[in-house]
Amino acid sequence: MSVSVVVPIYNEVENIPLLHSAVTAVMQKHGQPYEVILVNDGSKDGSGAALEALAKSDPAVRVIEFRKNYGQTAAMQAGMQAASMNSIVLLDGDLQNDPTDIPMLLAKLDEGFDLVHGWRKNRQDTFINRKLPSKIANWLISKVTGFPVHDLGCTLKAVRTEIAHELQLYGEMHRFIPILAHWRGARCAEVVTNHHPRRFGQSKYGISRTTRVILDLLTVKYFIQYVVSPMKLFGSIGLLSLLTGFISGVATLWMKVEQGVDMTGNPLLLLTAMSVMMGMQFLFFGMLGELCSRIYFATQHQTNYTIRRTFNFEKQSISMNQDRRAA
């Protein structure tokens, strides 16, 4: 299985030579074709020059340099889209992930899995601002998405290239790669991996990212459950609001007829009006969502299903492609 090793780099000038040596040693021992894609995410510490020198000295090294710092998610997306081998390994540039774990992940792919993600069971980080927020986030994400996982924050992953090319990552969604791949029908597995203390530089991630992770979690939840049919979400809320309005309206009329309560001073009348208006608005949002969903799938040339493999379709596919080119 040929391998593309994708590494986001942001101000890691001291780690780059050590990272290159460790990854190269592992991949040469692996004995299969490989490439190392290093994505310079707007570094300002001399990492760009170090990466350029590596690319000149080692033909297996590919370098992508951003104009500015776009974040780890964008760097991973660029690296995965540029990958040309059969499988992709994602790795941090700070040497806290252990490159010697790569063969274990690839062996798991050979067992038939589409994505294998690491679990830093013995994580070498501070407890208050790294471990504790991570434990809380992983528990919350697992409960919300229904995806059993111990460590979504671990960058070390191996994924088949066709799966990686289907993923569209934005915001801080790199940590949701296993969930998004699972949504696309990928068979996922989790393995315990090594984790080392940071030797050089400073961590770029901390508790300040919590808000963005929570917002991205809401987005992921929407995508994996409602993006194909938004009316299921907005329509349900709309119907619940209309039901609330109907019940409060009946209660208002009953109080007027049976007890002589003034309708204009009854708060249930306001609840009726607000519930009916909200219900109509959510139904309207659902219809707009359905329209946007269809536009999205049509313009992106995507379907709301995925195909693992086919049999005896090669000739038909070729003729269909020829007909499209002729048209």
For the domain 3-226, what is the CATH code? 3.90.550.10
**pLDDT on residue 325:** 44
Distance in angstroms (rounded) separating the CA atoms of residues 316 and 314:
6
Distance from CA of residue 51 to its chain's centroid?
27
- For the chain, how are helix, strand and coil distributed in percent, rounded to 5? 55, 10, 35
pTM: predicted TM-score of the whole model, two decimal places: 0.75
Per-residue pLDDT of the chain (327 residues; tens, 9 = 90+): 899 999 999 988 999 999 999 999 999 999 999 999 999 999 988 899 999 999 999 999 999 999 999 888 899 999 999 999 999 999 998 888 899 999 999 999 999 999 999 988 877 666 665 666 777 777 888 888 888 878 887 889 999 999 999 888 877 788 889 998 998 889 999 999 888 777 766 665 555 566 777 788 888 888 888 888 889 999 999 999 999 999 999 999 998 888 878 777 788 999 999 999 999 999 999 999 888 888 877 787 767 666 776 665 755 444 444 444 444
> Domain limits of the chain?
3-226, 231-313
Closest by CA position to 253, among listed 233, 269, 277: 269
230-241 pLDDT per residue, tens: 899 999 999 999
Closest by CA position to 201, among listed 9, 7, 6: 9
Residue 88 in tokens: 């992709």
**pLDDT on residue 81:** 92
